[in-house]
Amino acid sequence: MPELPEVEVSRRGIAPHLEGHVIKQVIVRDARLRWPVPETLQQLTGATITQVERRAKYLIIHTTQGYAIVHLGMSGKVRVIPTDTIVVKHDHVDLELGSGWSLRFNDPRRFGCWLFSEEHPSLEHPLLRDLGPEPLTDDFHLDYLFNASRGRSQSVKTFIMDNHVVVGVGNIYANESLFKAGINPKRAAGRISKARYAKLVPIIKQTLARAIEQGGTTLQDFTQADGQPGYFKQELMVYGRGGKLCMQCSGRLKEIRLGQRSTVYCPSCQR
């Protein structure tokens, strides 16, 4: 599933081609996504796109007539292509622009979404209004995360993956961040010292920023808006390497499941 870096890479890829352009037509070929594409999405016809924003793993397309809320789901992709590009299987939604180009959404598993909101969704929409802070902003800092962790018995990995605590620290980047910080993912969040969180917070920021710089992580489905894969996979130290040798101590990496997600860690390096 595309995580925060992949969604941010997608945003950066499409934004320059959308902002300032008029939506000539909204085409919905198959409304059967995670939630049915609402008829109100057609209200974007004739609107000018003013901004493409990311909140957590959602893309928010600002226009003069409302907002489109887009989630890539497990296999979704957005590309800006010439409007006359041949439609292929799983091309579900197009925003056709007056420039002769279109934003096209392809999603084989149909677990993504396209929704419409008249008000800015971060303030009102139930999918967004209760989310935690963005990890790459000043709102995500040591005191905030340490205080949020007090009294928490859940594992630190599921804690930092909780979107009500902080958004966008998905499975790949939680595995990698905890390894770099030397923290065992099974440890209770409330039992970890402030000094250790002081190390973890900047590592989460650095890991996500580096993944964005590398174009995200391509494991199966994800490609950038220009069709290129993400290259952060080449820098993964633990994720997907269960049973292999640790790059730091040469011990054997262990793979378990936490919160129904694959979790890989080094029993020697992570305490």
241 is catalytic: no
* Residue 81 φ/ψ, nearest 5 degrees: -135, 160
Is 38 tagged catalytic? no
Given 34, 199, 254, 261, the catalytic residue: 261
Report the alpha-carbon distance of residue 195 to residue 142 in Å, rounded: 9
Which residues have C-beta within 8 Å of that of residue 180, sequence separation ≥ 6? 203, 207, 237
Catalytic one of 11, 55, 57, 104? 57
Active site residue 53: no
Active-site residue identified among 2, 121, 135, 185: 2
Q: 101 — phi, psi (to 5°)?
A: -115, 160
Q: Binding site annotation covers 90?
A: yes
- The reply to whether 104 sits in an annotated binding site is no
The encoded tokens of residue 54 equal: 């990311």
Please tell me whether 92 is known to bind a ligand.
no
Instruction: Examine the residue annotation and report whether 199 is marked as an active-site residue of this protein.
Output: no
What is the per-residue DSSP string for 13-47? HHHHHHTT-BEEEEEES--BSSSBPPGGGGGGTTP
- Please enumerate, by residue number, every residue annotated as part of a binding site: 90, 109, 152
Active-site amino acid positions: 2-3, 57, 261
Q: Provide the annotated binding site for DNA.
A: 90, 109, 152
